[in-house]
Amino acid sequence: MEGLEMVRRKTGGLKMEGRKKEELKMQGLEAEGRKKEMVPAETEFPGTEPERARFRYDNAAVRRRDRLLDEEAARKLLRRGEYGVLSMVDEEGGGYGIPLSYVWDGTEHIYVHCAPEGRKLRCLDLRPEVSFCVVGETRVCPSKFTTAYESIVVRARAVRGLADEERWRALRLLLEKYAPADCETGMHYAGKSFARTEILRLEILSVSGKCKIVKC
């Protein structure tokens, strides 16, 4: 009898332990589910259209007609560029430019991320019209006293105060560009600082491009 009682107690204990493990497992799944809910999956962004329908390319003001960068090359440069220089008018009316990581959404928007306060944002609040320059491959040719290059200049208007959905999509686009192998991990990391992250949308007004091809 004592042996049976011990078996009953042991069996009951195992059942209790099994239920506890199951409860902990369910709690973990629920917590993981809540985390996933915080980080939106990739979704279509309202208003997105094929890039050629929205991208305005205008080289009319470029003086050197023999150095025009063709539109296809300009698109490739804007898509693959590692960084761009954002030029603004500062609070005293002078010039202020800084290099920034960025991503082009394939239509008429460029996105950059930054801290929620600082000199850049004060400049943009005063005057949102900006210039954004991306430089591609360059090569100095000493024997010919010149440099081979390709570059584009974007005229744009900066917009702040974006909706959360657009901010999340911009962050995903940035991660897909700069860390494609770790995009999902990056999205969870971004979720921790989402409230402290500002996203700027540069609305493209026009783009021009120049290049110089040199055989060094």
Among 154-158, 159-163, 171-175, 212-216, name the one with the lowest average pLDDT.
212-216
Burial track 199-208 (b if 16+ CB lie within 10 A, e otherwise): bbbbebeebb
Tokens read off for 77: 């440069």
58 shares a domain with 34: no
66 shares a domain with 165: yes
Note the pLDDT tens digit of each residue in 38-61.
Answer: 455 554 444 444 445 467 899 999
Position 214, amino acid: V
Taking residues 22-31, what's their average pLDDT?
Answer: 51
Note whether residue 46 is domain-resident.
Answer: no
56 shares a domain with 28: no
86 and 97 Cβ atoms separated by less than 8 Å: yes
Does the pLDDT of residue 200 top 70, yes or no?
yes
CB under 8 A, 24+ apart: contacts of 37-42: 38/191, 39/168, 39/187, 39/188, 39/190, 39/191, 40/165, 40/168, 40/169, 42/169, 42/172
Measured CA to CA, the distance from residue 154 to residue 69 in angstroms comes to 13
Note whether residue 204 is domain-resident.
Answer: yes
99 shares a domain with 4: no
Measured CA to CA, the distance from residue 130 to residue 202 in angstroms comes to 8
Note whether residue 124 is domain-resident.
Answer: yes
Does the pLDDT of residue 18 top 60, yes or no?
no
Note whether residue 208 is domain-resident.
Answer: yes
172 and 183 Cβ atoms separated by less than 8 Å: yes
66 shares a domain with 28: no
Q: For residue 215, count other CB atoms closer than 10 A to its CB.
A: 6
Note whether residue 44 is domain-resident.
Answer: no
Taking residues 90-108, what's their average pLDDT?
Answer: 96
Note whether residue 43 is domain-resident.
Answer: no
Note whether residue 32 is domain-resident.
Answer: yes
Of 51, 187, 196, 54, the closest CA to residue 115 belongs to 196
Mean pLDDT taken over the chain = 84
Residue 34: per-residue pLDDT: 46
116 shares a domain with 17: no
Residue 216: per-residue pLDDT: 84
Residue 194: per-residue pLDDT: 93
59 shares a domain with 135: yes
75 shares a domain with 160: yes
115 shares a domain with 203: yes
> Containing domain of residue 172, as a range?
52-212
216 compared with 124, residue with greater pLDDT: 124
Q: For residue 106, count other CB atoms closer than 10 A to its CB.
A: 17
56 shares a domain with 34: no
Q: In this structure, what are the phi and psi dihedrals at residue 209, rounded to the nearest 5 degrees?
A: -145, 145
118 shares a domain with 181: yes
Note whether residue 45 is domain-resident.
Answer: no
Does the pLDDT of residue 1 top 60, yes or no?
no
pLDDT band per the 50, 70, 90 thresholds, residue 133: very high
pLDDT band per the 50, 70, 90 thresholds, residue 35: very low
199 shares a domain with 152: yes
Position 50, amino acid: P
Residue 55: per-residue pLDDT: 75
How many folded domains does the chain comprise?
2
Residue 45: per-residue pLDDT: 46
